[in-house]
């Protein structure tokens, strides 16, 4: 599958090697394989809700939530959710942003899975963990990604926060 991931040098800023997954998604068989392989590690585990990070994470997370018969909860950028939210600020490799979740979105959902397309430094995934921590009594079952960039230590940071990780491929 790695051969279908397009690498764009110096995007969005100089020095970043951007891993473009749209080349995987545009092929129906590859897209189905991604969803199946990202779902497989979590089959048989109690997962009430899939939390996913805007925006590429949404693509797989909805399908994974459907397959696991779980709820889907979006983690959004500022000013995208219409109701009251919890918020965390966090750093990206190339800037800073915020992540929001509705204050009532985890009611009745205790066992949670985080899904995103790529794990780099872990900043975005750790922000999702920090956001979940604003709710009491929630269990993060794990986090799943299409791509892991292990040299950037994101997986290590998640494991330090007691979050198990699964990724389909590494670059």
Domain ranges of the chain: 28-170
User: What local confidence, expressed as pLDDT, does residue 93 receive?
Assistant: 65
Query: What is the full per-residue pLDDT of the chain (171 aa) written as tens digits?
Result: 999 999 999 998 898 899 999 999 999 999 999 999 999 999 999 999 999 999 999 999 999 999 999 999 999 999 999 999 999 999 876 678 999 999 999 999 999 999 999 999 999 999 999 999 999 999 999 999 999 999 999 999 999 999 999 999 999
User: What local confidence, expressed as pLDDT, does residue 5 receive?
Assistant: 98
Q: With CA atoms as reference, report the closest residue to 41 among 171, 166, 169, 161.
A: 166
Q: What share of the chain is helix, strand, coil (3-state, %, to 5)?
A: 30, 35, 35
- Spell out the residues 6+ positions from residue 111 whose beta carbon is closer than 8 angstroms to its own: 45, 46, 47, 48, 49, 139, 141
User: What local confidence, expressed as pLDDT, does residue 12 receive?
Assistant: 87
User: What local confidence, expressed as pLDDT, does residue 81 receive?
Assistant: 97
User: What local confidence, expressed as pLDDT, does residue 9 receive?
Assistant: 97
Longest CA–CA separation in the chain, Å = 44
User: What local confidence, expressed as pLDDT, does residue 92 receive?
Assistant: 76
Q: Which helix (H) or strand (E) holds 103?
A: none
User: What local confidence, expressed as pLDDT, does residue 153 receive?
Assistant: 97
Give the C-alpha separation, 154 to 144, whole Å.
12
User: What local confidence, expressed as pLDDT, does residue 143 receive?
Assistant: 98
pTM of the model: 0.95
CATH 3.40.50.2020 fits 28-170, yes or no: yes
């Amino acid at each position: 599958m790695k051969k279908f991931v397009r690498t764009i040098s110096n995007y969005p800023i100089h020095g970043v090697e951007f891993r473009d997954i749209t080349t995987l998604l545009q092929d129906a068989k590859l897209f189905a394989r991604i969803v199946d392989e990202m779902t497989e590690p979590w089959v048989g585990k109690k997962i009430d809700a899939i939390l996913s990070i805007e925006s590429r994470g949404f693509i797989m997370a909805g399908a994974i939530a459907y397959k696991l018969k779980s709820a889907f909860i979006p983690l959004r950028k500022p000013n995208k959710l219409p109701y009251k939210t919890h918020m965390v600020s966090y750093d990206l490799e190339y800037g800073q942003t915020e992540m929001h979740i509705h204050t009532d979105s985890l009611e009745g959902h205790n066992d949670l899975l985080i899904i995103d397309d790529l794990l780099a430094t872990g900043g975005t995934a750790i922000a999702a963990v920090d956001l979940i921590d604003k709710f009491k009594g929630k269990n993060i079952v794990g986090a799943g990604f299409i791509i892991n960039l292990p040299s950037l230590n994101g997986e290590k940071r998640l494991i330090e926060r007691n979050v198990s990780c699964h990724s389909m491929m590494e670059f």
